Structure formats: C-alpha cells, structure tokens
Structure 1
Amino acid sequence: MTERDWVRWHDYYDQPGSSLGQRLHAVRRWVAAALDEGASRVVSLCAGQGRDLLPVLAAHPRRGRVRALLDELDERNAAAARAAAPEGAEVVCGDAALPQAYAGAVPADLVMVCGVFGNITDGDIRRTIATLPQLCAPGTMVIWTRGRSEPDLVPRICDWFEDGGFERVGVEGEGTGYGVGVHRYTGPPVPLVAQEPMFAFVR
C-alpha cells in the first residue's frame, strides 16, 4: 500500500463540494461554539495544518485568552500550522498518540480528534475514547470526525463515548461522506497517568 501524502491530503479541503470541505466547515462551527462558551485551553490530536482550529482562533474575540496545543507528526504540516498559528497557539511536531505529549496542556476545555478515527482500528478508537477523560476537564467539549462510508461506524462511536462518561451534543453528516461528532465530558477529573499510545495509524 502506498503511504498517504498527508500534505497533499489537505488539498481535498479546497475542492468545491468535497466532503472534506463540508466537514471542515462543520468542525469550524463547533470550534467557534466552544470558544464562545469560554474554552480557554485547547488540544488538537493529529492536527495537520491546523485548518480546522487556527483560522477560527485567530479571528475570535477571545483569542488572546486561549492557549492551544496542536500535535502533528508530519514535519511539513507542523511547519504550515506553525506559520498560521496566532499568539497563544503552540504547534508541536511529535506523536499525538502519546498521552504524555499533552502534559502541561491538560485538562483542556476543548479536545479535537479530527482525521483520526478513520485511520485506526476499532479497538484503538475505543482505547482513545477511554483515555480522553485524562485530557478533559468536567464539561470539556470533544469534537471528532469519521467518514460515513459503509459500514458507518459513527453510531457505534457515539455509543462508545456515551458509555465512557460523555454526553452527546450533536452529530452531523448523515447521508453525506463525512461525519462530525461532538460530545461533552460529564465525568469527574481524571489524572494524566496513561503511558501507552492511544492509537496507531493503519493507513
């Protein structure tokens, strides 16, 4: 299997009518909603070029009070994100699957897991969801994505979140090629103790 070029992957955002472009707009709306609610600490896993977070943050009236950590493994994407990052947003080039990568930045008020669940096994999705409370404060909003090709795993992912102490806020994309889910953490504070990777990309 040819390794995916994660820089060129971003080009699909710019194709008129693409499902990734639609997904991008949906995620940005939810990011804006979280910032409007008062989110001040943000972490983004596998952040890519930060197109879903950074433009919204840069234009938001509360941008000066927000601290964001974007973790991205591809050095080229990390460099692009760093060039677009407003003050208060830090881009780290590293393995976003490692929970300890977020030490000092969590508990966060907004956690973004976009572009992850479609590239890992079902078992790793469940492992990631089970670890997310360690990144969250009570009330944290988690925005996640998953393509809706058959078999559509979005309903099961919702169940896994809800079994793990999260309540559903919204799910978008039914009948399209994309899925955007938003869940809010309703459990107690959990210390960051996990050492093992949450996931590994399989394609």
Structure 2
Amino acid sequence: MEKREDSVGRDWAAWHGSYDDPASALARRLHTVRQRVGEVLDRAPQGPVIAVSLCAGQGRDLLDVLARHPRRDDVAARLVELDERNVRLARAMIDAADLVNVEAVAGDASRTDAYAGAVPADLVLVCGVFGNLADADVERTISLLPQLCAEGAHVVWTRNRQPPDLTPHVRRWFEKHGFEQVWSSPPGESAYSVGVHRYLGEPVPLERGVRLFTFVGYDNLRQGEAWPG
C-alpha cells in the first residue's frame, strides 16, 4: 500500500508535515508530549520498561525521546500504525537511532490482538486518537486501557479542545476507570490538551479479538473542519 487516506481524503503521512512547522499547534503538542514521555522515563524504576503506542504514526512522540534518553536501552516498545508509509518512516527512525528493542508494526491499533506479546506496558501512548473517535468510544477506549497497562503504568494522551471541549470528560473517565491524574495541560494554553494518568489497579489480562475503538476520523466528526485529533 503506497498511500492510505481516510474516507474524506486525509493523507496521514502528509499530515505529519505540520510537526515540522514550529509555529503549528501540532508542533507545540508534540513538544509537550515529548516532555511528558521523558518525565515518565525519568521516574521509571530501574529495570526493563515496556511501552506501546496506539495509532503511532511515524513515532515522533516516542522515538525522538528514546534516541536521547539515558534509559533508551531499558525500553522495549511496540508502535502500532495502519498506514504503511508511516510505518516505514518509523522503522527508518528506529534504525537510525539504533533502538534495538523497539518495533513499528503495520496493524490495526483498534484491536487488542495488535498488542499481544507487548503488554502489560509501563507506558501507553494514546496521542492523536481521541479526537478521531465518537465521544462514547473515547470512554470505551479508556475503560479497556487496563488491558494494556502494568501496575502503575502511565498513559499519555491528547485531545483537541475544539468546542464542545471533551477534555474535562476525558479526565473524569480516566478516574472512573481506575486512573489518577498525574499532569494535565492548563486550560486555554493550547488548542490541544495533553494529559498523563497513572493506572492504580491490578493488571487485567488481554482479551484477544476485542475492538478498543472505531476510528471515525476528525473530518467525518466535524464535517470538514481542519483540526485533527
């Protein structure tokens, strides 16, 4: 597959170009996510650290941090992404940084099967996902995240703040399903919210064949407004 577009024509490889514009909202979001990922790794106990990334794209939020972090060799990660061009670019970044314990796989991040053998994880990235889901599916996804989480795992997530702003509900849903808030970007600071929640419960066995969410796409949800999730 040379190119994947959603039902309204979004090219998910080209979409990443906004990250290269320092003035863009996406670039600022990426900077904040990287900061939070670095902090999670800084605080991680000694020993192996397992990470998974849902709808990972080109892996820029995680791979750039790992390439420079002193714990890089402790981290085993699986990045799951459907767009094969993005997967190839992520693999090139992995190879260039010599991240021998990191893999980028072409697969459906919405299905639990994609994480078999890679969970429970200590770090779960759900970035650029929630804004592409129906509201009820956001809560469903959060309710199923314990299947991906080790005890004390940190989840780093993002959601756009376009009205109606769903982020207050997102934070409440995390708390409802066994997570405590560690950090949240201040209201009004950006067009995006970035949050970090820690899982307080016991690991939940991964149930194969379960749908975590249905990826609708921001453009379908917002009828063409140009704010990706």
Which TM-score band applies after superposition, normalised by the shorter structure? over 0.9
d(CA) in 1 for partners of 2:209 and 2:178? 21
Q: Please state how far the C-alpha of 1:140 moved relative to its aligned partner.
A: 0.3
1:45 aligns with 2:54: yes
- Tell me which residue corresponds to 2:64: 55
Q: In structure 1, which of residues 134, 140, 155 is the aligned counterpart of residue 168 of structure 2? A: 155
1:200 aligns with 2:200: no
SS for the counterpart of 1:41 is strand
- Tell me which residue corresponds to 1:107: 120
Deviates more, 1:191-200 or 1:59-68: 191-200
- Tell me which residue corresponds to 2:73: 64
SS for the counterpart of 2:119 is coil
d(CA) in 2 for partners of 1:29 and 1:78? 23
Q: Please state how far the C-alpha of 1:173 moved relative to its aligned partner.
A: 5.0
d(CA) in 2 for partners of 1:79 and 1:88? 17
Segments of structure 1 that go 5 or more residues without pairing to the other structure are none
- TM-score, normalized by length of structure 1? 0.97
Q: Please state how far the C-alpha of 1:169 moved relative to its aligned partner.
A: 0.7
- TM-score, normalized by length of structure 2? 0.86
SS for the counterpart of 1:52 is helix
Percent of aligned pairs with the same amino acid:
57
1:34 aligns with 2:37: no
- Retained in 2: the 8 A contact 1:131–1:194? no
Q: Please state how far the C-alpha of 1:81 moved relative to its aligned partner.
A: 0.3
Q: Please state how far the C-alpha of 1:65 moved relative to its aligned partner.
A: 1.3
- Higher Rg: 2
Segments of structure 2 that go 5 or more residues without pairing to the other structure are 1-6, 218-229
1:12 aligns with 2:18: yes
- Tell me which residue corresponds to 1:138: 151
d(CA) in 2 for partners of 1:148 and 1:14? 21
In structure 2, the CA distance between the partners of 1:173 and 1:49, relative to structure 1 (3 Å rule), is: farther
- Tell me which residue corresponds to 1:97: 110
- Tell me which residue corresponds to 1:129: 142
- Tell me which residue corresponds to 1:178: 192
Residue by residue over 1:73-129, the C-alpha shift from the partner in whole angstroms, topping out at 9 and shown as x without a partner, is 000000000100122110000000111211111000000000000001111111110
Q: In structure 2, which of residues 174, 177, 196 is the aligned counterpart of residue 164 of structure 1? A: 177
Residues matched between the structures, number: 203
Residue by residue over 1:170-203, the C-alpha shift from the partner in whole angstroms, topping out at 9 and shown as x without a partner, is 1115212111011000011211115221112112
Residue by residue over 1:44-92, the C-alpha shift from the partner in whole angstroms, topping out at 9 and shown as x without a partner, is 0000000000010011111111100000000000000010012211000
d(CA) in 2 for partners of 1:173 and 1:22? 14
Q: Please state how far the C-alpha of 1:165 moved relative to its aligned partner.
A: 0.2
SS for the counterpart of 2:110 is coil
d(CA) in 2 for partners of 1:92 and 1:122? 27
- Retained in 1: the 8 A contact 2:13–2:85? yes
AA at the equivalent of 2:110: A
AA at the equivalent of 1:169: V
Alignment of 1:74-89 (within 5 A): 74-85=83-94, 86-89=99-102
